[in-house]
Chains A and B, each alone.
Chain A
Amino acid sequence: MSRLESPPPRATDVAAPSAAEIEASAPGEGGALLEVDHLVKHFPIKSGILIDREVGRVRAVDDVSFTVTRGETLGLVGESGCGKSTLSRSILQLIKPTSGSVRFDGRELVGLSARQMRPLRREIQMIFQDPYASLNPRRRVAQIIGDPLALHGVGSGTERQRKVQQLLERVGLSPEHYNRYPHEFSGGQRQRIGIARALALEPRLIVADEPVSALDVSIQAQIINLLDDLQNDFGLTYIFVAHDLGVVRHVSDRIAVMYLGKIVEIGPADAVYANPIHPYTSSLLSAVPIPDPRQNRAREPLVLEGDVPSPADPPQACRFHTRCPRATDICSELEPRLVDYGGGHWAACHHPIGHQDGEAKRLMGLAPPG
């Protein structure tokens, strides 16, 4: 066993790549619309009666960098507790990040006041998971979709009404549904209302947090196709957060895989799915049963043991090493850097699948060149 001369570096000592580095590795056509740089969100765990003392931190998002190119869909996957929802809410500044930067179209969002943020909210909208909880039951569809327009002072009353009716039609509902309440609609129809609301202000970026996971399979397909059409028609950029890896593959151009607050792999969708580099990505994919009995039988399943560790006390160095079938000593001593394996396919692993360990060392700058 090789001994390291200095104590193992902690997460914060290891520089993750910046958004610019990731963007440069595989520049998209339209340039980056969103750049997330070294974003951190820690939630303090407090204890004490009179004085709140911080006794620990939940490291929900821990030094995450990535970019989203204009017109593309970035899929964000990972299991519950991996930080994907915290990350998407931090991007919208619905949660104030601990540190790091989020730039939208070149403008820094972190640190903006609510007032400064307001005009930007027109450009970044969100679609939520639960179409039952995300629509106000006491307001009519016209108000739900029209409120964002009124708040931002768009058009006169009659113009807004016409706009709402156009939106309803665009998302596949009837303009006569204008005066109904949410309870009069099915789950799929409600999700269409949520989408119409998100579209009302003609945003450029839509963050969709599990937009189809509460819906039945046949309705899921309707909503996915709708989102796809809207992207083509309006040139939208999506961040699509989901735990259903099949859905994410279908909708995404690029995929980021998260585990315990870190991006462990990011790259073009087909590359990540066909040739995963990180063992976590590989085991995640192999855990999904394929709806095709023969293909399913032909696969070699790789069942991960145990549960995801607590993000309040994540494992040292590589956070996946406690469950990883390829882990060795170095994985518990040194955090692997997210490095580029070519074509914009990045992974953070000492023992990458389909690559020599030496290559990982060289890319991380741990081995002398040559």
Chain B
Amino acid sequence: MSAEPLLRVEDLQVHFHTDDGVVKAVDGVSFALERGRTLGVVGESGSGKSVANMTILGLTRSANAEISGRIVFDGRDLATLDAEGLQSIRGNEISMIFQDPLSSMHPFYKVGRQIVEAIEAHQGISRQEAGRKAVELLGVVGIPDPERRAGEYPHEFSGGMRQRAMIAMALANDPKLLIADEPTTALDVTTQAQILRLIERLQEEFEMAVIMITHDLGVIADVTDEVMVMYGGRVVEAGRRDDIFYNPQHPYTWGLLGSLTRVDRPRSARLAQISGQPPSLISPPQGCHFHPRCPHSFDRCTQVPALEQRTLTPGHVDRCWLEPERKQTLRVVSSGEIGLEEPAA
């Protein structure tokens, strides 16, 4: 195989023109994803994580959207493809699953029929054969009695079963890349564990790459290889999972890790919190978007820091002007624990 990654996104910008002004939802996002790997994208509402990934599939194209940058998938630039070209890739080479499986399925059509439709759209096989394949897929994703369940409507499925059916649909055409946007957020923890194990198993079987978009750092720690932290439409830190968890470089990442509550730790005195509110995407702060909330900001932070490697670890990049040595001292790292800072006064 060539050294070219499966997906390479370069300087992606997605701006929406609205009555209130230009919303810079995605403001210069670049990343690469190798075949068979899992990239976690973490960030809060409005960080641009969903818009960036929907843009890969051309789902944000509209009259008021201004999109620029390159999205090179398997040798082709998706940003330049027309609607028809994208159609042949969506649900075929790249599939997507969403947070709410009930609103992602058509309520009037039987589950099996919806999967058949996905198969027929991309494969020239008979309906009977597609039907057999749909039942087989429902079995693969762990739906008991798939033959009967294929004849049921989405409302007859439980939340976990619906998400399994969505995954079956996404897998229908052997995708090379699965984009999962908060796939377990609406589910209970025991069901979430089932779905995460399922995605992992299928990823191995089908040799898919996965982009896992979530706000849950537990899910990130559980299933990803690489992690990208987004804030205010930009990537503020990216690297291998363990680098992000054990040697985080950006104060926003510290804040995220510090504000977590954990089931395996007794109650701590007080949670570290990030004060203030997320930035407006219409009139974002000058320079580093995080600096108004950052307890360590200084005069240089009004200029935009580049996303570049600032530690000795290749591939670990961040957007923060602080000297790496200074970060070590600012971040209180106790052995075996995540590098956390003390709550800001």
Q: Which of A244-267 contact B (CB under 8 A)?
A: 244-247, 249-252
A291, B260: Cβ atoms closer than 8 Å = yes
B20-28, B272-280, B295-303: which lies at the A interface? B272-280
| Cross-interface CB contact of B264 among A79, A80, A295, A304, cutoff 8 Å | A295
Bound CA span A252–B266, Å: 10
Q: Tell me, rounded to whole Å, the shortest Cβ–Cβ distance linking A30 to chain B.
A: 19
| Cross-interface CB contact of B245 among A244, A245, A292, cutoff 8 Å | A292
B263, A249: Cβ atoms closer than 8 Å = yes
Bound CA span A251–B222, Å: 24
A47-55, A280-288, A359-367: which lies at the B interface? A280-288
Q: Find chain B residues with CB under 8 A from A308 CB.
A: 188
Bound CA span A246–B263, Å: 4
Q: Tell me, rounded to whole Å, the shortest Cβ–Cβ distance linking A212 to chain B.
A: 10
Residue B220 interfacial (CB < 8 Å): yes
Residue of B nearest to A220 (CB): B259
Interface centre among A218, A283, A293 (most CB of B within 10 A): A218
Given A216-B215, A250-B268, verify A221-B274 contact (CB < 8 Å): yes
Q: Which of B31-66 contact A (CB under 8 A)?
A: 44-45
Bound CA span A79–B218, Å: 18
A291, B193: Cβ atoms closer than 8 Å = no
B190, A218: Cβ atoms closer than 8 Å = no
A89-97, A222-230, A339-347: which lies at the B interface? A222-230
A244, B193: Cβ atoms closer than 8 Å = no
A217, B44: Cβ atoms closer than 8 Å = yes
A222, B275: Cβ atoms closer than 8 Å = yes
Bound CA span A219–B256, Å: 10
Q: Tell me, rounded to whole Å, the shortest Cβ–Cβ distance linking A303 to chain B.
A: 5
Bound CA span A353–B305, Å: 53
Q: Find chain A residues with CB under 8 A from B222 CB.
A: 289, 296
Q: Which of B242-275 contact A (CB under 8 A)?
A: 242, 245-246, 255-268, 270-275
Given A270-B266, A291-B218, A292-B338, verify A218-B274 contact (CB < 8 Å): yes
Given A293-B241, A303-B193, verify A243-B188 contact (CB < 8 Å): yes
How many B residues touch A, CB cutoff 8 Å? 51
B190, A250: Cβ atoms closer than 8 Å = no
Residue of A nearest to B158 (CB): A307
B260, A217: Cβ atoms closer than 8 Å = yes
Q: Find chain B residues with CB under 8 A from A249 CB.
A: 261-263, 265-267
A287, B192: Cβ atoms closer than 8 Å = yes
| Cross-interface CB contact of A247 among B161, B261, B268, B275, cutoff 8 Å | B261
| Cross-interface CB contact of A244 among B161, B246, B261, B270, cutoff 8 Å | B261
Residue B221 interfacial (CB < 8 Å): yes
B271, A224: Cβ atoms closer than 8 Å = yes
Q: Which of B183-235 contact A (CB under 8 A)?
A: 188-194, 196-197, 215-222
Given A216-B215, A246-B260, A249-B263, verify A291-B271 contact (CB < 8 Å): no
Q: Find chain B residues with CB under 8 A from A17 CB.
A: none
Interface centre among B263, B266, B267 (most CB of A within 10 A): B263
| Cross-interface CB contact of B271 among A250, A304, A305, cutoff 8 Å | A250
Bound CA span A293–B336, Å: 11
Q: Tell me, rounded to whole Å, the shortest Cβ–Cβ distance linking B169 to chain A.
A: 20
Residue A273 interfacial (CB < 8 Å): yes
Residue B175 interfacial (CB < 8 Å): no
Residue B154 interfacial (CB < 8 Å): no
Residue of B nearest to A248 (CB): B261
Bound CA span A245–B261, Å: 9
- Interface of A, secondary structure class, is helix
Bound CA span A292–B261, Å: 12
Q: Find chain A residues with CB under 8 A from B189 CB.
A: 79, 243, 245, 284, 287-288
| Cross-interface CB contact of B272 among A216, A219, A221, A284, cutoff 8 Å | A221
Bound CA span A273–B159, Å: 27
A225, B245: Cβ atoms closer than 8 Å = no
Query: What 1/0 mask marks residues of chain A from 193 to 222 whose CB sits below 8 Å from any chain B CB?
Result: 000000000000000000000001111111
A288, B242: Cβ atoms closer than 8 Å = no
B267, A291: Cβ atoms closer than 8 Å = no
B273, A291: Cβ atoms closer than 8 Å = no
Q: Find chain A residues with CB under 8 A from B261 CB.
A: 224, 244, 246-247, 249-250
Q: Find chain A residues with CB under 8 A from B161 CB.
A: 307
Residue B239 interfacial (CB < 8 Å): no
Bound CA span A283–B263, Å: 12
Residue A189 interfacial (CB < 8 Å): yes
Residue B131 interfacial (CB < 8 Å): no
Given A216-B45, A221-B271, A243-B188, verify A290-B262 contact (CB < 8 Å): yes
| Cross-interface CB contact of B221 among A189, A218, A219, A292, cutoff 8 Å | A292
B242, A291: Cβ atoms closer than 8 Å = no
| Cross-interface CB contact of A290 among B190, B221, B274, cutoff 8 Å | B221
A269, B273: Cβ atoms closer than 8 Å = no
Interface centre among A186, A251, A287, A305 (most CB of B within 10 A): A287
Bound CA span A287–B190, Å: 5
Residue B112 interfacial (CB < 8 Å): no
Q: Find chain B residues with CB under 8 A from A283 CB.
A: 190
Q: Tell me, rounded to whole Å, the shortest Cβ–Cβ distance linking B105 to chain A.
A: 18
Residue B91 interfacial (CB < 8 Å): no
B262, A284: Cβ atoms closer than 8 Å = no
Residue of B nearest to A228 (CB): B270
Residue B160 interfacial (CB < 8 Å): yes
Q: Tell me, rounded to whole Å, the shortest Cβ–Cβ distance linking A177 to chain B.
A: 13
A186, B262: Cβ atoms closer than 8 Å = no
Q: Tell me, rounded to whole Å, the shortest Cβ–Cβ distance linking B307 to chain A.
A: 21
Q: Find chain B residues with CB under 8 A from A270 CB.
A: 266-267
Residue A111 interfacial (CB < 8 Å): no
A245, B277: Cβ atoms closer than 8 Å = no
Bound CA span A220–B45, Å: 13
| A–B Cβ pairs within 8 angstroms, 28 of them | A79-B189, A218-B259, A218-B274, A221-B271, A221-B272, A222-B275, A225-B273, A225-B343, A243-B189, A245-B189, A245-B263, A249-B262, A249-B263, A249-B267, A250-B268, A252-B267, A269-B266, A273-B263, A287-B190, A288-B218, A290-B263, A291-B216, A291-B221, A291-B245, A291-B338, A293-B241, A294-B242, A304-B193
Nearest 8 Cβ contacts at the A-B interface: A221-B259, A289-B218, A246-B261, A289-B222, A218-B274, A291-B217, A216-B44, A79-B188
Known: A270-B267, A287-B189. 12 other contacts (CB 8 A): A79-B190, A216-B44, A221-B273, A222-B273, A244-B261, A249-B265, A269-B266, A273-B264, A274-B266, A292-B264, A294-B246, A304-B193
